[in-house]
Structure 1
Amino acid sequence: MVCPTGNGKPPRGFTLIELLVVLAIVSLLLTLAVPRYFQSIDKSKEVVLRENLQITRSAIDKFYADTGRYPDSLDELVEKHYLRSLPIDPVLDSTSAWNLITAEVEHGSGIYDLKSTAEGSTADGKLFSSL
């Protein structure tokens, strides 16, 4: 075999077949990994949503226990240092997209509970708005 470089050494590099085999292996691995990656992102958003709802509801209860009334807004919980910042809805990526539920008249006015306004459901079939 005559060497095209002229120095007696064979040319260095990969053949087209070798590159195609490597690309096929990489694409096979990606088809297995990418769906699991997106499932884990969705699952983490559900966990963060549940945690934010639980923490905010707890702060509302503590505010009511301390003052005898419910807060007029979520901003009031932040101003009075019951929360460090407004809770975020990770599904909608928003701090203002909450469905605020006001208290019944006998308990005074103010925010009694909050729910997500995100459409869709969790992995176990519950609606985001019912969490």
Structure 2
Amino acid sequence: MQHQSSYRVGRGFTVIELLVVLAAIALLLSIAAPRYVAHLDAARETALRQDLRAMRDAIDKFHGDQGRYPAALEELATRRYLRAVPEDPVTQRTDTWVLVPPPHASSGAVYDVRSGAPGQARDGSAYASW
């Protein structure tokens, strides 16, 4: 009687098979990554527009209630017109906001606020012009 061995030799992947799989993954990533980055940029721009709108609304309400403009953005937060000074979504900092003083001699220092972020948005406009 012939005795047969009961163990099987496991077959691994060849280098060619691994390279084909890695090439397919790289192709998928090259398609998905730019779309992901574009969506991130769009989300930052939308958040920036909403933050500017909320701060401008708070400045107007402050002026209507107090009869003067706030001395700093932090005053809007301490007086509860804002919960907190928002972080600029593009620079990811709260100290890059550019404060625009009142056009005429008026008390207060913050008539308007703009982003201090360098660069341009997807539509070609500068963040600082918003």
* TM-score normalised by the chain length of structure 2: 0.90
Counterpart check, 1:12 vs 2:25: no
Residue of structure 1 in register with 2:116 after alignment: 117
Deviations 1:4-37, CA, capped at 9 Å, x for gaps = xx64534232222221111110010000011111
Matched residues, percent identical?
Answer: 44
* Structure 2 stretches lacking a partner, 5+ long: none
Counterpart check, 1:129 vs 2:128: yes
Q: Which amino acid aligns with 2:24?
A: I
Kindly indicate whether the alpha-carbon contact (under 8 Å) linking 1:71 and 1:77 is maintained by their aligned counterparts in 2. yes
Residue of structure 1 in register with 2:76 after alignment: 77
Tell me the matched-pair count.
126
Residue of structure 2 in register with 1:102 after alignment: 101
Q: Which amino acid aligns with 1:109?
A: G
For 2:12, what is the secondary structure of its paired residue? coil
Distance, in Å, in 2 between the alignment partners of 1:124 and 1:59 is 27
Deviations 1:71-105, CA, capped at 9 Å, x for gaps = 01111100000000112111111101111011133
Q: Which amino acid aligns with 1:123?
A: R
Indicate the RMSD between aligned Cα atoms, in angstroms: 1.5
Moved over 4 A (4+): none
Kindly indicate whether the alpha-carbon contact (under 8 Å) linking 1:69 and 1:110 is maintained by their aligned counterparts in 2. no
* Structure 1 stretches lacking a partner, 5+ long: 1-5
For 1:89, what is the secondary structure of its paired residue? coil
Distance, in Å, in 2 between the alignment partners of 1:36 and 1:67 is 46
Distance, in Å, in 2 between the alignment partners of 1:108 and 1:26 is 61
Residue of structure 2 in register with 1:3 after alignment: none
Q: Which amino acid aligns with 1:23?
A: L
Distance, in Å, in 2 between the alignment partners of 1:30 and 1:116 is 33
Q: Which amino acid aligns with 2:120?
A: S
For 1:85, what is the secondary structure of its paired residue? coil
* TM-score normalised by the chain length of structure 1: 0.89
Deviations 1:29-65, CA, capped at 9 Å, x for gaps = 0000111111111111111111100000000001011
